[in-house]
Structure 1
Amino acid sequence: MSVEMTPHSDTDSSDYAPSPRVAVLPFVNSSDDPDQDYFCDGVAVEILLSLTRAPGLNVIARSSVFALRGEQLSALDAGRRLSATAVLTGQVQRSDGRVRMDVELIRVSTGRRLWSGVFDRDVLDVFIIQDEVAGAVVEALGVPGPGRTIQGGQTGNVNAYDYYVRGRELYYEYSRTSVESAARCFEDAIGLDGTYTLAYCGLADCFSYLYMYVDSSEEFLDRAMRASTMALEFNSQLAEAWASRGLAVSLARQYEESELAFEKAIELDPQLFEARFLYARVCFAQGKKDMAARLFEEANRIRPEDFQSLLLAAQSIDELGQKMRAAELRIRGIAAAEQRLGLDPTATRALYLGANGLVALGEVDRGLVWLERALTIEPDEPMLLYNAGCIFALAGNKTRCLDCLEKAEAAGLRQRGWYENDSNLDSVRDDPRFSALLKKLI
């Protein structure tokens, strides 16, 4: 085993006040095998997720960072595009049961190296290496370390880990085909390690997604419930397991159990963005707008560049009568959506949630332009169609609103709570077409 670590004294904390903003760039695959790209991405994402748990550290979301992958930018140029204080870069070579990792933390403003490390170990030590890298980064930046190691919920089977990271990358694409492929990867991971907690979490989330957006069948719901149950059986101290359970049981309308599961996830990992964000969505679907608003804002404090939590918080706060606060959040949310679109012009969720914010602020024409861009890119995506219905309702176009809502329902989005409790749809509630649509929902 060999390890080299090079700390540097150039870490004036005043440059980072109040909170360092770090980007973990995709790690480069130095192996001859292109199939190892998934493994390299998995290493980088695990370090990123670990750093999000470090108090006082602002970690740029994976979706924003990985959107730059195809632009062939230098590390410093990528950092500038992302408005990062520092960037973490790495090269990974895996062969013959060994893994070599060269990692470097660079200050964006000066190009100076803050820390570097070279690791050459058995591939089974990859999780230990990831923990050591995360610890070195927070030490170099002068903030407290993460509250949980990467090894929690992980596997000792590297082949199972390969399937897991492939599954997670596919899940992040958020399409029916990619999520179905992700579920197969998680199942393959579980086939190699029947106690792999995070793989069960991923599997549960896949089936929850398919139930919500593809087909509200009892099979998908049952499989989400069973996978989340298995995750908790193998590791009841893993926050992700409780978050997956909270989502699954909410789809069965077991709301009390869902809320308890999300509360447990937050207790175990206060920095887990998904726990608060998903909890907020469940509260919104129940009409608990005050609770939803609080949770969306808390989620945004964990991930400040996230446009979704800002814009969804704004809608909930608007419905509570806090118009000025809602407008402030919408302005921030639209700016965050624009930043995301600067990295990826095809990010349809940024387009349609930003469009909603623009129309709500009175910028109707601009908002509709954003919406039409999104519909051109993904004309059959159920969540986009639902949100298009909301936006057309706000803009006063009832016919196009109902057209989109009916298409969303036909495409698989049938969660009654959203249709019933979304104030964007108030202008069409008395329409016979909307009444007929509600009768089709679960």
Structure 2
Amino acid sequence: MERDREFPGRRFRLGDALVDPATRTITGKSGPRRVSPKAMRVLTALAAAAGNVVTRDDLLDRVWSEVTVGEEVLTQAIAELRRALCDTARAPRCIETVHKSGYRLLLAAQTCDAVEPAPDLATLLRAEVQGFDLSAYALHLQSCRAFDCGGSINIYAAAQGFGEVIRAQPGFAPAYAGLARSLAFIDMYYGPRGDHLARALEACEAGLRVDPQSHEVLAAQGTAFSAAGDGQRAFASFAAALRRRPDCGPTHYLLGRALFAEGEFHSAAVMQEHAAQLNPDDFHSLLLAAKSRRRIGDERGAYADLVRAEQRIDQHLLAYPDDFRALCDKACCLIELGQKDVALESATSLLQHHDPMGYYLVCFLARAGEVPQAIEVLEEIVEAGWSHAPVLRNDPDIDPLRGELRFRRVEQRLQAG
């Protein structure tokens, strides 16, 4: 494998097919076909072997080095490459199966020095959507939006939408991640308790069978493990997700939540602030970061996060003036920034909102000194299914309630559940 550095980033030809590793595109007589990242890595490894046999074990070690998988994933990758190359296992002209050993290329890979003309846009679009249901993808995006908005109605709708996407497009790993996230949040916040966590972990296992390298599925798995109280496996999943995609804002956001639940407040703040840095529209991460900063006594850092959060909330509310979570976060910011009267006035309509997302109202009312009303809302949302005891235990917003008998009863109920 001396030449394995020649092909990973450079285009090369296999007979009449042009292979572009950068875009994972194989262009032959039938037009361009895009293959999965793993399939392209298998092809470049075979190309680098210059016609020599590459064993199955070698390919598995090279391409799936960070996860334990069976040989079926390699078989699937080879089948995907053969379809893209218009090749067959019975009469191979490109990829030969060497019995009880591995695979080798029958065609010499020739690097391309000249710039080839790009396919026209219509051809690329036809290749991109081949085998992919765009209506299912549109539903996936709608479900992602519903999840981001929060609230029981939205989260249940997101879970249903992701399930429909999986039925229509079972090979689309991000849908499994979305379903797992939604089910984990239903278990933590929108109960009543059921088999949601078990189903979330099953969705993660199915998603990783589709794509063992999916950072989205790994992050969702971390969230599900965190909800189950298994911090060790949760953080192992998050670490694997970050190794695969270190610039993903949602992964940092979910990791920050898990760290907060474990009482790792400094790290939680850093993760949430980085999530907000990666996504300029994200205001909620900054509010959560401020909580963590307050918990460790970093009032200056908390104030800075709150100022930035309020600016982003105001911008968001211009487009979505009825967004309940944004309105709650705005009220919390006003309290912390010394505008209690304005915050209480703005919260009048929010108190009519019956949803377990009302935990944000509990935080707001507690910080505003409205202790009896805060406990009343807390009792209501726990009755409705809110059940995230670690957050209640660690949240500095709740500190004004901790000496109250009614609060201790709620806390004991959650711990017993």
- Tell me, in whole angstroms, the C-alpha distance in 2 between the residues paired with 1:388 and 1:127: 44
The aligned residue for residue 122 of structure 2 is 120
- Tell me, in whole angstroms, the C-alpha distance in 2 between the residues paired with 1:389 and 1:354: 14
How far 1:296 sits from its partner (Å)? 0.9
For 2:390, the aligned partner's letter is G
1:235-268, CA deviations, whole angstroms, 9 ceiling, x for partnerless residues?
1211101111111111111111111111221221
Matches within 5 A, 1:185-200: 185-200=161-176
User: Is 1:386 equivalent to 2:378 in the alignment?
Assistant: no
Extract unaligned runs of 5+ from structure 2. Answer: 1-118
User: Is 1:244 equivalent to 2:244 in the alignment?
Assistant: no
For 2:365, the aligned partner's letter is F
How far 1:176 sits from its partner (Å)? 3.2
Rate the CA distance shift 1:204–1:366 in 2: closer, same or farther, 3 A: same
Matches within 5 A, 1:302-313: 302-313=278-289
The aligned residue for residue 347 of structure 2 is 371
The aligned residue for residue 331 of structure 2 is 355
TM-score scaled by length of structure 1: 0.62
Rate the CA distance shift 1:124–1:412 in 2: closer, same or farther, 3 A: farther
The aligned residue for residue 411 of structure 2 is 438
1:342 counterpart (291, 305, 318) = 318
Matched pairs, number: 297
Contact 1:214/1:411 (8 A) holds in 2:
yes
User: Is 1:233 equivalent to 2:209 in the alignment?
Assistant: yes
- Tell me, in whole angstroms, the C-alpha distance in 2 between the residues paired with 1:255 and 1:127: 39
- Tell me, in whole angstroms, the C-alpha distance in 2 between the residues paired with 1:217 and 1:392: 26
The aligned residue for residue 253 of structure 1 is 229
The DSSP-based 3-state class of the residue aligned with 2:413 is coil
Matches within 5 A, 1:57-206: 119-121=121-123, 125-126=127-128, 156-158=132-134, 160-161=136-137, 163-165=139-141, 167-206=143-182
Extract unaligned runs of 5+ from structure 1. Answer: 1-116, 129-154
For 2:363, the aligned partner's letter is C
Contact 2:192/2:384 (8 A) holds in 1:
no
1:422 counterpart (395, 398, 409) = 395
User: Is 1:271 equivalent to 2:247 in the alignment?
Assistant: yes
1:219 counterpart (195, 203, 225) = 195
For 1:185, the aligned partner's letter is G
The aligned residue for residue 403 of structure 1 is 376
Rate the CA distance shift 1:427–1:170 in 2: closer, same or farther, 3 A: closer
Identical-pair percentage: 27
How far 1:156 sits from its partner (Å)? 3.6
Contact 2:291/2:395 (8 A) holds in 1:
no
Contact 1:204/1:248 (8 A) holds in 2:
yes
1:155-176, CA deviations, whole angstroms, 9 ceiling, x for partnerless residues?
7455654554454454445343
Larger radius of gyration: 2
Bigger drift between 155-164 and 427-436 goes to 155-164
The DSSP-based 3-state class of the residue aligned with 1:253 is coil
Instruction: Tell which has more relative contact order, 1 or 2 (C-alpha 8 A, sep 6+).
Output: 1
The aligned residue for residue 56 of structure 2 is none
- Tell me, in whole angstroms, the C-alpha distance in 2 between the residues paired with 1:183 and 1:279: 20
Rate the CA distance shift 1:196–1:433 in 2: closer, same or farther, 3 A: same
Bigger drift between 207-216 and 118-127 goes to 118-127
- Tell me, in whole angstroms, the C-alpha distance in 1 between the residues paired with 2:191 and 2:232: 24
- Tell me, in whole angstroms, the C-alpha distance in 2 between the residues paired with 1:277 and 1:405: 24
Contact 1:159/1:192 (8 A) holds in 2:
no
For 1:228, the aligned partner's letter is C
- Tell me, in whole angstroms, the C-alpha distance in 2 between the residues paired with 1:308 and 1:199: 23
1:42-67, CA deviations, whole angstroms, 9 ceiling, x for partnerless residues?
xxxxxxxxxxxxxxxxxxxxxxxxxx
Contact 2:325/2:360 (8 A) holds in 1:
no
The DSSP-based 3-state class of the residue aligned with 2:122 is strand
The DSSP-based 3-state class of the residue aligned with 1:270 is coil
The aligned residue for residue 328 of structure 1 is 304
For 1:255, the aligned partner's letter is G
Matches within 5 A, 1:24-43: none
For 2:356, the aligned partner's letter is P
Contact 2:261/2:391 (8 A) holds in 1:
yes
1:315-338, CA deviations, whole angstroms, 9 ceiling, x for partnerless residues?
211222222222122112112111
How far 1:217 sits from its partner (Å)? 2.2
How far 1:423 sits from its partner (Å)? 1.2
Contact 1:124/1:157 (8 A) holds in 2:
no
The DSSP-based 3-state class of the residue aligned with 1:120 is helix
For 1:238, the aligned partner's letter is S
Contact 2:356/2:382 (8 A) holds in 1:
yes
2:263 counterpart (287, 292, 317) = 287
How far 1:361 sits from its partner (Å)? 2.3
Contact 2:177/2:220 (8 A) holds in 1:
yes
Rate the CA distance shift 1:309–1:180 in 2: closer, same or farther, 3 A: closer
The DSSP-based 3-state class of the residue aligned with 1:236 is coil
TM-score scaled by length of structure 2: 0.66
How far 1:182 sits from its partner (Å)? 3.5
